[in-house]
Amino acid sequence: MSDLLVSADNISGIKNDLFLQALKGNKVERPPVWMMRQAGRYLPEYMVLKRKYDFFTRVQTPELVCEITLQPVDIIGVDAAILFSDILVIPQAMGLEVQMNEGQGPLLPDPIKTPEDLQRIVVPDVAERLHYVMDAITLTKKTLNNKIPLIGFAGAPFTILCYIVEGKGSKTFDKAKAFCYQHPIAARQLLQMITDTTILYLKAQRTAGADVLQVFDSWSGLLSPADFESWAQPYLLQIQQALQPFCPVILYPKGSWYAMKDLADNGTMAMGVDWCIKPQFARELVGPHVTLQGNLDPAKLLQTTAEIRTDVHNMINAFGAQRYIANLGHGMTPNIPVDHARAFVDAVKEWRG
């Protein structure tokens, strides 16, 4: 690891703290890089564990979480690790059954369909219900030995509501949206329960050792700007305001470019963006003080490694190297060759301003 990566005000004790410096807005020699869904099915090493243990066994066993979290650190050379887990551990902890079926994605066999169904869920004691996550963070931090920072995460309340009401993945989540519009009081009660649980959960992740927290609003882009303001933003901001005093928080409201200015005006310090917005426009919307993260279309990783390199350099030049974290615009897909993931990371490391 180059000594240059350790900046003068390295107070975290982390050897490569580029990611933390970019979040703080300190000057860096190159942008840090990591990839959403960097731990997963495109890695043969992950597939070995996937064949041996079912999904929730992998998620609930700290030794497996630690091993899977560190795989892309060793194999791809990213500047930040993200804990291997899933956003759906929250509905599980609140009392709903969640299955992860091969080839079908998540299934909640008994979703919330009516306001009365809310009686079936609770704001849980997260230390008790999700202790395995905190144990995994402690073990992973110890094993990382301050090499790079560790990202903890949760789903945003609107995205979690989508799964809790729809019961499975969907392109439109029309049942979930209809629940909000037909039962607004119950929907707000549900969003507040998810928010309260998520704040407790992320605080516990921070206490266990997570250096940065990311909140995934993967489906917020299905909302109109006015509905985002009503059904997503208030809950995202509650989480941001509760956690940001303790550590950097990155909000990733996928598809909701229209909300970026408002989120920045409300104190959001870092935002993830997808590929449907021009880097220059994203910067105009949030102003000079927000760190931006993104935004290569993961499908572009199927190009040749030379093309990936050109795209990455263009992306960095468009965002600018400061207050910027190189990443994809959404998660890695299983069909991406490992060499191409490595080419993405190497291209960031090779970039010179």
By CB under 6 A, name the binding residues for ligand CP3.
36-41, 50, 55, 82, 84-88, 100, 105-106, 153, 169, 216, 218, 331
Cβ of residue 39: shortest distance to ligand CP3, in angstroms?
Answer: 3
Q: Output 38 or 233, the one with its CB closest to ligand CP3.
A: 38
Q: Output 218 or 293, the one with its CB closest to ligand CP3.
A: 218
Cβ of residue 340: shortest distance to ligand CP3, in angstroms?
Answer: 16
| 325, β-bridge pairs | 293
Q: Output 331 or 337, the one with its CB closest to ligand CP3.
A: 331
Cβ of residue 332: shortest distance to ligand CP3, in angstroms?
Answer: 8
Cβ of residue 198: shortest distance to ligand CP3, in angstroms?
Answer: 13
Cβ of residue 192: shortest distance to ligand CP3, in angstroms?
Answer: 21
Q: In angstroms, what CA-CA distances link 66 with 81, 82, 85, 146?
A: 10, 10, 10, 14
Q: Output 241 or 333, the one with its CB closest to ligand CP3.
A: 333
Cβ of residue 164: shortest distance to ligand CP3, in angstroms?
Answer: 12
Q: Output 95 or 169, the one with its CB closest to ligand CP3.
A: 169
Q: Output 108 or 285, the one with its CB closest to ligand CP3.
A: 108
Cβ of residue 68: shortest distance to ligand CP3, in angstroms?
Answer: 8
Give the span between the Cα atoms of 291 and 272, in whole angstroms.
Answer: 9
Question: Cβ-closest residue to ligand CP3?
Answer: 218
Q: Output 90 or 321, the one with its CB closest to ligand CP3.
A: 90
